[in-house]
Structure 1
Amino acid sequence: MEHLFLALLVIIMISALASGFPVAFALPGSAIISIGLAALTGYLFEGDVSAYFAVDGPKEWLTAGITNFRSNYWDVETDTLIAIPLFIFMGIMLQKSKIAEDLLVTMGQLFGPIPGGLGISVIFVGALLAATTGIVGATVIAMGLISLPTMLNNKYDKSLASGIVCSSGTLGQIIPPSIVLIIIADQLASAADVANTMRQTDYKIVTGEFNMPGEFRVGSTSAGDMFLGALLPGLVLVGLYMLYVLVYARLNPKAAPPVPFKGKFDSKFWTRVVMVIIPPLALIFAVLGSILMGIATVNQAGSIGAIGATMMAGYRLHKGKKDAYYPIIVAIVAIIPIYFLSKNYNLNIKAIETRDFTEILVTAFFTIIFLIGISWSFWRTYKINNVLKEVVTETCVTTSMVFIILLGAAMLTSGFRAFGGEELVRDFLQDLPGGFWTQFIVVMAVIFVLGFFLDFIEIAVVVVPIIAPILLAEPGANVSAIWLGVMIGVNLQTSFLTPPFGFALFYLRGVASKLVSTLNIWKGVVPFIALQLIGLGIVGFYPTLVNYLPARTYLTSKVAPPPINPKLQHCLQEYKFDIYKNDEQKIVAAINGFQELTPSNLPNDKLDIFEEHFDNALGTFTLVAKLQKTEEEYNLFAEDYKDLHFKVRKKEKKIRKLNKKIEKLESEIRNLNSEEASDKNKIELKIENYKLEIDELAKTVPEIWKSKNEEFKIIQKAKNTRTKRYRKNVDEAYDNLDQIVMFIQDHEKLDGLSPQINDLKYSINNKDYESSISIIDDLFEKLGEISGTEEFANKLDDLISIIDSEDVNEEELLIASSDTFSLFNMENSWRKDANKNLLPELMKYNLEIKNNIGLRRQSKLTKEQAKFVARCNSVHRDVSLNF
C-alpha cells in the first residue's frame, strides 16, 4: 500500500511542476500532502497512522523534516554552501560591468581572420566566462545578445551560430567555479557516508568482521575537490567544440567565413588584447589557483572572486577616464608589502612572545590602504548606473531560490524514503544484469531525460541523494565520489541543450533575433549534444581525467596523509615492488655495508635491535617474492572465480531481503488480534510464497559454489597474511633503525648523568644508603626522558631493592653495583663513539632505504611518490571479491 502513496507523491510533484507551480513549494508541498493522506488513510482503515509507511511513520517523518530544516539552516554556514552567493555575486557583477562584451569584441578581432575564427573566439570567451561566473542563464543571455548578432552579421550559418552560443554558454555548468558542482558536492558528501554504511553492513554479513579495512571505504568529496576534478573534463569539452568549429569551417567555408580585421595588428592592438584578457585570467587564477595551491577554501576563494570582480567592474565602469585604474593600483601597491611582511615576519597577534609588533602595525597600515582600494571600487559600482544594487538584488533572489529548493528537496527526499522509494530504487538497480555499469547507464539515462523537464538544482538535490549511495556503495566498480559528481555534472550540461525543453534553448530564444527560428536553434545544438556525449564517454572511460588532479593536490598539500594511510597501500606497494625489482642489489649492498659498521661494544639489548633490523631488512626480498607469487595465484584464480562470486552474492542479497520481509510479516502476525484470522491467513500465504522464492533462488546456486568459495578464501587468506607479514616486517625494520638513531642522539643526555653516577658510587662505597636511594630516585626521573635505558633502569631497580632492605647484603650489593656501573659505562661509551663515527654513515644508509623499506614510516610522500600514487589511485579498482 505504501507504494501507492509513493506513486501519489511522484504524481503530485510532476503535476505541480508541469502546471508552473513554483519549484520551491512544489517539492515540500507534494511530500506534505502525500504524507498527510497516508497518515489519515492509515488511521481511518487500520487504526494506525503508520500503517501505510514503509519506514517509520508520520511522527518520525515530521521529526526528520525538522531535522532536515535545521541541518540545511546550519549548512548555510559550511564551506560548501556559503560559496554559492559569493560566486553568484561574482558572475552577475562581471555580466553587469560589460567585461564579457569587451572580451568577445577583442577575441573576435584576434581570431576572426581564420575560417571559423569568430566562432572559436566565442567558445574561448564562453570558457572564460564559465570560469568566472558559473551561471548558465546569465552567460547564454549575455553571449546571445553580444555574439549572436555579430556572427549573423558576418554571414555565419544561423544554426551553427546558435549552437556555438548555446554550447559555450552552458560551459559554466561544468567548468569551475560552478554552482551545480557546489550543490552536487554537498549532496555527495552525505551520500558517501550512506554508501560507507551500506558497504560496512555487507562486509560484516559476508566476513563476520565488525571493522571494514580503511582501503575499502568510499572517499568523500568537497566543492574544492569537485572544482579540481571538473577542470580537465571542462577543457576537453572546450577543445572538442573548437575542433568541431574549425573542421566544419574547413569543410563548409560558407557556414563560418573568416572575418578580416580592418585595423592593424600593431602594438596598440596587442596592448588592448593583453589589457582585456589578463584581468579575467588573473581573476580565474586567483579563485581556482588559491584552491589548487591549498591557500584558500572554496568559500574564501568565492570571497576573492567577488572582490576581484567588483574591482574589475570598478575600472570598467569608469572606462576612458584618467583615474579609472586608481582603485586597483592602490590595492595592488598595498598588497605587495603585505605579502612580503607575512612571509618574513610573525604577524600572529595572539603569539605575544614571538610576534613582531612593529611589523604588525606596518601590515595593518597597508591593510587599511588595501581596504580603501576595495571600498573605492564598491563605491564606483554603487554610484555608476546603480550596478551594485542590481547585482546584490539579483544575488539575493538567486541565492534565496537555491536554498529554498534545498529545503524543499530535503523534505521531499524524506517523504520518498518514508514510502520505501529509496529501497525500491535500490532493489531495481541491484537487480539489473551487468552490475555497476548497467546501473550507471540507467541512472545517467534517467538524469538525461529528467534534464528535459527539471532544472539542475532539482535534479541535484532530489535525484542525487537517492541514487548516489547505491552507485558509490557498489564495490565492483569502486568509483570515486568526485568522478560520479563530474559525470552527473557533464550529463546535466548535456540536458541543458536537448530539444525541446533544454533551458539554454529557451534562454537564447528569448534574446535571439526573429531571423533565427526555433528550428535553427534546435538544429544547431544537435552536433554539440553529440560532442558532449563524446566528452561524457571520454571522461567515463578515462577516470584519471577527473581523479588525478584532486588526488595529486591532496597528496602534495600540507594536510597530506602519511604513507601508512590504508587508502594508499595498494599503489605504494606497486611503487615499492618496482624499486625492489630494479634496485635489489643496491639495497642489499647498503644493508650489508652498514652491518659491517655495527659497533662491537654494544649492550645485549642494543645488539638484539641491530640484528633484528638487519634480519628484517634482508628478509624483505624473500617476503616480497612469496607475496608476489601468492598474488599471481590469487589473480589467476580470481579470473575464473569472479563471475561465480558476483552471481551468487547477488542471489544471497535477494535471499536476505526476502528473509527481512518474512521477519516483518511474522512480526505483523504477532501483533494481530484473535479476531483477525483472515488477515493472518493472507500474511501466512505471503510468507509461504517468499519461502518458495527463497528455495528457488537457493536451487539456482551452482553446486561448485561452496568448494570454489572455500578455495578462494584459502588463497585470499594466504594473500592477506603474507601482505600483513611483509608490511609488519618492513615497519619493524625501519622502527628499529629509528630506535638506533634515537639512542645515539640521546648520548648527551646520558652522559649528563655521569656526575650523579659518580655520586652514587661514592655514597654506596661509604654506605650512605639514604643518599644512594635519593640519587637513584632522581636518576629514575631523568631516565624517563632518555631512550633505550630500560636495561639500565632495571639494574638500578635491583640495586635499590638491595639497598632498601633491612639487612643489606654487602657482597650482593657490590656485585649489583659493579654490573650497574659497567652497563652505564658501556652504554655511554658506545653512544659517544656511535655519535661521532656511526651516525653520519647511518644517515647515508637511511637515504638508501627510507623510500623503499622505510616508506610506510615516513611522515609524507615525496612529490614523485605523490604523483605516482595519485596516478595509480585515479583508476577505479574492483574490490568486489572482498564483499
Structure 2
Amino acid sequence: MEYIALLMFVVVCLVLLLGYPVALSLAGTALIFAGLGSVFNIFEPAFLTALPSRIYGVMNNQTLLAVPLFVFMGAMLERSKIAENLLNAMSVLFGRFNGGLGISVTLVGMLLAASTGIVGATVVTMGLLSLPTMLKRGYNPQFSTGIICATGTLGQIIPPSIALVLLGDVLSSAYQKAQLQMGIFSPETVSVGDLFAGAVIPGLILVFLYMLYCLIYAYLKPNEVPSLTPQDIKEIQGNRSKTSLMLSALVPPLLLMFAVLGSILLGFATPTEAAGVGAIGAVILALFQKQLSRENLIAVMQSTVKITSMVFLILIGASLFSLVFRGFGGEELVQGFFEGMPGGVVGATLIVMLVIFLLGFILDFIEITFVVVPIVAPILLAMGLDPIWLGIMIAINLQTSFLTPPFGFALFYLRGVADKAIKTSAIYRGVIPFILMQLLLLLALAKWPELITWLPSVIYG
C-alpha cells in the first residue's frame, strides 16, 4: 500500500507537466486516489476528516499573514520607480568600468530583493530597464540575460523573502513533529526571524560570487562587456550631481530595508508586524515619488490578491495531498528508506537535496515547499539536523529552480519581456554559470554550517 503513495506523487508530477493548475492538480489527484483506495479498502477515509482543521489552521496562522503584506510592499515598490533610480545611480558609479553594468544590475537586484522579496517582479523590472541598455551598449546577450535572471532570484534567499516565510511555517510544523518522534515535548519552534537571520550571510556571499563573475568575465572578454562612454554617463546622470543622484536613489530603499529587516533582526517586531510596516513604507515611498495614483493602487491590490490567493490555494491543495499521502503510509515508506540508507544523516540529506534540485526542473518552489518539504523535513530533523541550516539549504536549492531549464520561472519572466531577437537558447546558456555558483554555495554551507547558524545564534542566543 505504501508504494501507492509514491505512485500518487509521480501522477501529480505528470499532471502538472500537462499544464493543469497546481492547487487543483494536488487536490484532485489526492481525492481520486483516496476514492479508489476507499473502494478497494486500502485507504481509511477518516484521514480526510482532518482537512477542515488544517484549513482553519491556515486561516488562523499569524505567520502566513505576512505573505499578502510583503506581496503588497513588493508590488507597490515595483511601481514606484525605485528600481529605475537605483539602476541609474549604479550605472553612473560603475559604468566607467568593463562589466560595470553587470555589477550595477547585481547590486540593484540585491537591493530590490531586500526591499520586495518577489522574484517575478524583480526579473521583469530589471529585464525591462536594464536589458535594452546593456544590449545597446554592446554587452553580450548571453551574459546580460544570465545576470538579470540570476540577480532576480536573489529575492528567494535575501530577506524579506516570501519563500522563507512559507518555509518557516512548514519547518516549524516539521520541527514539532520531529520532536514528538524523539519523545521531546517542547514549545520551541522555527521562527521566520531565525531564517531571515540565517539567510543574510549566504545571500551576501551569493552577491559577492555574482560580482566576482562579472569582474572575471570583464577581464577575460572585455569587448563583450564594454564600459560606458563619458557621454553615456552624462546622459544617464542628467543635470543632477552624482551625490544628489546617489542619495535620492539609495536612501529611500535603505530606510525601508532598515525599517523591515532591522525591526525583525533586532527583535522589535515579528515578521508579520514588520511586513505591515513595509507595506505602509512602500505607500509612503510611492507618494514621495508621485506614483501613488488611483490606477497604480488598484493594480497593486489586484496583483496582491492574485498572488496571495494562488499561494493559499496551493497550500490547501497540498494539505489535502499530504493527508492522503500519509493515509497510504507514504511517510513511513520515506522514513524507512532514509533510515536504511548508507551514510546515515549525511546520505539522507544528500539524497533530499538532489531530489529537490531535480524536482526544481519541473515544479515551482511553492509546490516543493508545500508537498515535498513536509514529507522529508521531519525525518531529517529527527536525525539531528539544525532546522535553520536545513531551511536555508532548502531555500538556496529551491532558488536554482527559478533558473534551471526548461521550466525555470525566471527564464519565463525574462523571455516574456526580452527582445524577440534574443534566442531562448542564449538565455538558457547564460544562467548556467549562476546555477553552478549556487551549487558551489550549497557545498560551502554544507562544509561550514556556521555561515548560516552564526548570525541567528548571535541575535537570538
Structure 1 counterpart of 2:52: 66
Whole-Å Cα distance in 2 between the matches of residues 112 and 465 of structure 1? 46
The AA in structure 2 aligned to 1:541 is K
Cα 1:442–1:7 change in 2 (3 A) is closer
Checking the alignment, whether the CA contact within 8 Å between 2:102 and 2:214 is kept in structure 1 is yes
* CA deviation after TM superposition for structure 1 residue 7, in Å: 4.3
Checking the alignment, whether the CA contact within 8 Å between 1:156 and 1:257 is kept in structure 2 is yes
Deviates more, 1:3-12 or 1:100-109: 3-12
CA distances 1:496-538 after superposition (whole Å, capped 9, x unpaired): 1112221111111111112211111111111111111111112
Task: Say yes or no: does 1:191 pair with 2:174.
Answer: yes
Whole-Å Cα distance in 2 between the matches of residues 534 and 4 of structure 1? 34
* CA deviation after TM superposition for structure 1 residue 550, in Å: 1.4
Structure 2 counterpart of 1:248: 217
The AA in structure 2 aligned to 1:66 is P
Whole-Å Cα distance in 2 between the matches of residues 183 and 65 of structure 1? 19
Task: Say yes or no: does 1:461 pair with 2:356.
Answer: no
Task: Say yes or no: does 1:492 pair with 2:398.
Answer: yes
Whole-Å Cα distance in 2 between the matches of residues 292 and 256 of structure 1? 38
Whole-Å Cα distance in 2 between the matches of residues 4 and 432 of structure 1? 18
Whole-Å Cα distance in 1 between the matches of residues 68 and 229 of structure 2? 41
Structure 2 counterpart of 1:315: 288
* CA deviation after TM superposition for structure 1 residue 89, in Å: 0.4
The partner residue of 2:199 within 230, 249, 252 is 230
Checking the alignment, whether the CA contact within 8 Å between 1:173 and 1:180 is kept in structure 2 is yes
Cα 1:526–1:280 change in 2 (3 A) is same
Checking the alignment, whether the CA contact within 8 Å between 1:8 and 1:34 is kept in structure 2 is no
Whole-Å Cα distance in 2 between the matches of residues 7 and 272 of structure 1? 57
Task: Say yes or no: does 1:152 pair with 2:151.
Answer: no
Whole-Å Cα distance in 2 between the matches of residues 271 and 511 of structure 1? 31
Cα 1:218–1:119 change in 2 (3 A) is farther
Determine helix, strand or coil for the equivalent of 2:40.
helix
Structure 1 counterpart of 2:94: 111
The AA in structure 1 aligned to 2:364 is D
CA distances 1:553-584 after superposition (whole Å, capped 9, x unpaired): 113xxxxxxxxxxxxxxxxxxxxxxxxxxxxx
The partner residue of 1:96 within 79, 82, 86 is 79
The AA in structure 2 aligned to 1:547 is T
* CA deviation after TM superposition for structure 1 residue 96, in Å: 1.4
* CA deviation after TM superposition for structure 1 residue 288, in Å: 0.3
Cα 1:114–1:548 change in 2 (3 A) is same
Q: Specify every segment of 5 or more residues in structure 2 that has no aligned partner in the other structure, as ranges.
A: none
* CA deviation after TM superposition for structure 1 residue 176, in Å: 0.4
Matches within 5 A, 1:137-216: 137-200=120-183
Task: Say yes or no: does 1:411 pair with 2:384.
Answer: no
Deviates more, 1:268-277 or 1:396-405: 268-277
| TM-score normalized by the length of structure 2 | 0.96
The AA in structure 1 aligned to 2:377 is A
The partner residue of 2:243 within 270, 275, 283 is 270
Matches within 5 A, 1:531-546: 531-546=437-452
Structure 2 counterpart of 1:424: 333
* CA deviation after TM superposition for structure 1 residue 66, in Å: 2.1
Matches within 5 A, 1:388-407: 388-407=297-316
Cα 1:163–1:463 change in 2 (3 A) is same
Whole-Å Cα distance in 1 between the matches of residues 417 and 336 of structure 2? 46
Whole-Å Cα distance in 2 between the matches of residues 218 and 62 of structure 1? 27
Length, aligned pairs only: 457
Whole-Å Cα distance in 2 between the matches of residues 89 and 108 of structure 1? 28
Whole-Å Cα distance in 2 between the matches of residues 240 and 255 of structure 1? 19
Whole-Å Cα distance in 1 between the matches of residues 25 and 57 of structure 2? 20
Whole-Å Cα distance in 2 between the matches of residues 69 and 12 of structure 1? 24
Task: Say yes or no: does 1:220 pair with 2:220.
Answer: no
Whole-Å Cα distance in 2 between the matches of residues 96 and 401 of structure 1? 21
Whole-Å Cα distance in 1 between the matches of residues 36 and 135 of structure 2? 56
Determine helix, strand or coil for the equivalent of 1:82.
helix
Checking the alignment, whether the CA contact within 8 Å between 2:174 and 2:374 is kept in structure 1 is yes
* CA deviation after TM superposition for structure 1 residue 16, in Å: 2.4
Structure 2 counterpart of 1:14: 13
The AA in structure 1 aligned to 2:455 is L
CA distances 1:416-448 after superposition (whole Å, capped 9, x unpaired): 010011111111111110111111111001000
CA distances 1:295-328 after superposition (whole Å, capped 9, x unpaired): 111111101111111111112126xxxxxxxxxx
RMSD: 1.7
* CA deviation after TM superposition for structure 1 residue 220, in Å: 2.8
Task: Say yes or no: does 1:259 pair with 2:259.
Answer: no
Whole-Å Cα distance in 2 between the matches of residues 11 and 480 of structure 1? 29
Q: Identity of paired residues, percent?
A: 50
* CA deviation after TM superposition for structure 1 residue 4, in Å: 5.2
The AA in structure 1 aligned to 2:308 is T
Checking the alignment, whether the CA contact within 8 Å between 2:85 and 2:249 is kept in structure 1 is yes
Task: Say yes or no: does 1:37 pair with 2:23.
Answer: no
Larger Rg: 1
The AA in structure 1 aligned to 2:264 is I
CA distances 1:27-53 after superposition (whole Å, capped 9, x unpaired): 1111111111110122xxxxxxxxx13
The partner residue of 1:505 within 407, 411, 432 is 411
Determine helix, strand or coil for the equivalent of 2:407.
coil
Structure 2 counterpart of 1:699: none
* CA deviation after TM superposition for structure 1 residue 267, in Å: 7.6
Whole-Å Cα distance in 2 between the matches of residues 241 and 534 of structure 1? 12
Task: Say yes or no: does 1:279 pair with 2:252.
Answer: yes
Matches within 5 A, 1:700-711: none
The AA in structure 2 aligned to 1:463 is V
* CA deviation after TM superposition for structure 1 residue 479, in Å: 2.3
CA distances 1:158-178 after superposition (whole Å, capped 9, x unpaired): 111111000000000000000
Determine helix, strand or coil for the equivalent of 2:241.
helix
Structure 2 counterpart of 1:26: 25
Determine helix, strand or coil for the equivalent of 1:20.
coil
Structure 2 counterpart of 1:862: none
* CA deviation after TM superposition for structure 1 residue 73, in Å: 2.0
Cα 1:7–1:550 change in 2 (3 A) is closer
The partner residue of 1:300 within 267, 270, 273 is 273
Checking the alignment, whether the CA contact within 8 Å between 2:6 and 2:330 is kept in structure 1 is no
Determine helix, strand or coil for the equivalent of 2:223.
coil
Structure 2 counterpart of 1:437: 346
Structure 2 counterpart of 1:129: 112
Checking the alignment, whether the CA contact within 8 Å between 2:364 and 2:401 is kept in structure 1 is no
* CA deviation after TM superposition for structure 1 residue 11, in Å: 4.1
Whole-Å Cα distance in 2 between the matches of residues 111 and 197 of structure 1? 54
CA distances 1:606-638 after superposition (whole Å, capped 9, x unpaired): xxxxxxxxxxxxxxxxxxxxxxxxxxxxxxxxx
* CA deviation after TM superposition for structure 1 residue 382, in Å: 3.7
Checking the alignment, whether the CA contact within 8 Å between 2:48 and 2:324 is kept in structure 1 is no
| TM-score normalized by the length of structure 1 | 0.51
Task: Say yes or no: does 1:288 pair with 2:261.
Answer: yes
CA distances 1:344-402 after superposition (whole Å, capped 9, x unpaired): xxxxxxxxxxxxxxxxxxxxxxxxxxxxxxxxxxxxx243xx10010001101100111
Whole-Å Cα distance in 1 between the matches of residues 227 and 200 of structure 2? 30
The AA in structure 1 aligned to 2:49 is T
The AA in structure 1 aligned to 2:114 is A
Checking the alignment, whether the CA contact within 8 Å between 1:174 and 1:493 is kept in structure 2 is yes
Whole-Å Cα distance in 1 between the matches of residues 258 and 230 of structure 2? 30
The AA in structure 1 aligned to 2:47 is W
Structure 2 counterpart of 1:792: none
Matches within 5 A, 1:485-634: 485-555=391-461
Cα 1:269–1:422 change in 2 (3 A) is same
Checking the alignment, whether the CA contact within 8 Å between 1:224 and 1:291 is kept in structure 2 is yes
* CA deviation after TM superposition for structure 1 residue 3, in Å: 3.3
Checking the alignment, whether the CA contact within 8 Å between 2:58 and 2:64 is kept in structure 1 is no
Matches within 5 A, 1:312-391: 312-317=285-290, 381-383=292-294, 386-391=295-300
Structure 2 counterpart of 1:765: none
